[in-house]
Structure 1
């Protein structure tokens, strides 16, 4: 991979007196990964081969390809950033306060939001099927599936990654000492920020796809609250990469030097899979999807570190709103999509209406009910005063 002639300055993670410095590029990227999930779910009704709550009368090959690309890297990117910010928070607060904060803001929302964000989806699917006699609905009798985490599965997997990582760190400190643990972490950060690091990072992803056997599906999420080894391995690997990168102050700057090369390799790898329609040997398909997903992850981190280092009010507002938007988006997206399913409108028009309508509703509810309320303090860790919220809006 080529190196740019302009050397980016190392990312500063030092904390000025009074308040921790916000890493604006990564913060925006984390919000973008969540918002991409809304785009992904809005596309699914137009993909005939994918199981969903309903299907539109029209299908789109282009949206199926878009869905594949987004799914190949989105949650890997999110878990990597979660690991990076997790290590940062642990350094500031200590392990006990870090785990307690994550239990409050990650695990508890999964249970608290399930009745309003997941349960209505089954009712919407039944209503849609009842108006179309020929529509078949699969019977679900397993209670674990009926009361599964739905789209909130990532919160459970993230909490599992947090607990495992903190436990392993504690064991290493206990048996080999704090200094050796820190030295090991720095060596891993050096490895993952090198050009070979993306290859090492892609190994767990490759193994998971080999186990699951479906390269075009990327890492398949768990369907119940019972931990599944395959997705946990894939996302724990991503979390560990982010955690390690925090150990060197210049690690992200090293990645940002080659952002264009990473994105190019990622685009080539994923394009091969799309051109071949997944009809390649499983080991090759697993390696291509994993390499493509990780190269896009590294490339996007590099772009945001290099070009989004300064605060931008609109981007910061969306980053703050993204958690609420993702938690609550799916019933709204599904309801709007169902209302458009039988209309004789182009796919692009239906998709635009779904995205614009749902985003407007989610942003409005965030502004009025979340941003300046105790709910916002719970989800985002801080509560914005009304005056600053009005300026942001």
Structure 2
């Protein structure tokens, strides 16, 4: 995860648009998981609400197309920034501390607890929880330690390690100056009007490596690397990495925001119309990949163009977004299960879930994370709390 301390330019000026975009990317993950009980696909989620909605299905599919490649691109952009300010060794240690360690330390609370929530709900409501394996088949031991929604931390760490290894080899083979020039050229190509097509190549390859492209990219279900997801997300990480290598790349994208936004809208509609169709994978996969990347590029462009001013509220949410995403799933599941038996409109259930989740994530964050050692661990520094309950003020630079 990118620390909040790293969301700055080389001159030390915080990139507020990308700061906000990070919060949006992680927040959309929470929205996506809250929509899953209403997805009409059989077995699409750990439980079904009983009500379904094609709108929920379209939102899930659309968010899934672009959200994680956008996040990985941001991680790559800021990753290269940190590397060039602190050095490769310091960058790797920082990623191990803030990505690798949380994947282990938060697993019992963020992932294992979801099984407890599902088990309790199944016992109280009288239904069978999802099985880890078909009846009569042995359970894969690796599924017992599934990373759950923390899979993105493992994939991101794999991207970091592979990128650093490749960088070390290429610097030795090409030399620092030649390597810099090549990286700049790649960044310029990615920031050009045709850059979306170049970015979509690894995404397309990742889709084609799967048995089926239905539902888009699939996340790893064990701690072992999955070729399809690693290919797509390593490609996304490198998009951000090379965009940082090219000075002015974000400004170049910002100037393209009108057509990128229009292209994203058209391609998302096209991707939706093609879902469940009979288009051959070799044609279907590129459409999904370009739609996902056009949306990611459009959001990058809009955020840089229009969200360049600091917003204290968005700054706070960006700081809280990592903690919130790590810890949201058992809360979203518990609230969704509690509402599943009620004959309320889906929109009302979602609003209750979102409001309850926000309170149950942000209040503990402010009280026990933001100004403590946990906040320093996750975000790079402790920050003053928003809620003042008579406790001492914390030096934000500590």
Give your verdict on TM over 0.5: yes
1:383 aligns with 2:386: no
**Cα distance change on mapping 1:377 and 1:389 into 2, 3 Å:** farther
Q: Counterpart of 2:112?
A: 119
Q: What does the per-residue CA deviation read over 1:22-42, in whole Å, with 9 as the maximum and x for residues that have no partner? A: 111111101110111000000
Q: Please name the residue that 1:281 is paired with.
A: 280
Q: Are 1:324 and 2:323 an aligned pair?
A: yes
User: What's the TM-score, normalizing by structure 1?
Assistant: 0.92
Residue in structure 2 matched with residue 189 of structure 1 by the alignment: 187
Distance 2:20 2:73 in 1: 14
Do 2:118 and 2:129's aligned partners in 1 also have CA atoms closer than 8 Å? no
Matched, 1:36 2:28: yes
Show the 5 A alignment for 1:24-103. Answer: 24-49=16-41, 50-103=43-96
**Range that drifts further, 253-262 or 35-44:** 253-262
Structure 1 stretches (4+) deviating beyond 6 angstroms? 387-391
Residues 382 and 230 (structure 1), Cα distance of their counterparts in 2 relative to 1, 3 Å cut: same
CA distance in 1, matches of 2:173, 2:24: 39
Tell me which residue corresponds to 1:297: 296
Map of 2:334 onto structure 1: 335
- 1:170 and 2:168 matched: yes
Contact map agreement 2:113 2:330 (CA 8 A) in 1: yes
Equivalent residue number for residue 346 of structure 1: 345
Q: How many residues align structurally?
A: 377
> Per-residue deviation at 1:386?
4.6
Instruction: Report the CA distance between 1:277 and its aligned residue.
Output: 3.2
Residues in 1 aligned to 2:128 and 2:381: alpha-carbon distance in whole angstroms = 46
SS of match in other structure, 2:309 = coil
Moved more, 113-122 or 252-261: 252-261
Q: Paired residue for 2:368?
A: 369
* 1:209-233 per-position Cα deviation (integer Å, ceiling 9, x unaligned): 1221443422111000011111001
Cα distance in 1 between the residues matched to 2:186 and 2:372: 41
Choose from 96, 99, 103 the match for 1:106. 99
TM-score w.r.t. length of structure 2: 0.91
- Coordinate RMSD, CA, aligned: 1.8
Question: Shift of the alpha carbon at 1:130?
Answer: 2.2
Between the aligned partners of 1:70 and 1:216, the Cα distance in structure 2 is: 15
Q: Return the offset for 1:273.
A: 2.6
Q: Which residue of 2 aligns with 1:150?
A: 148
1:22 is paired with a residue whose SS is coil
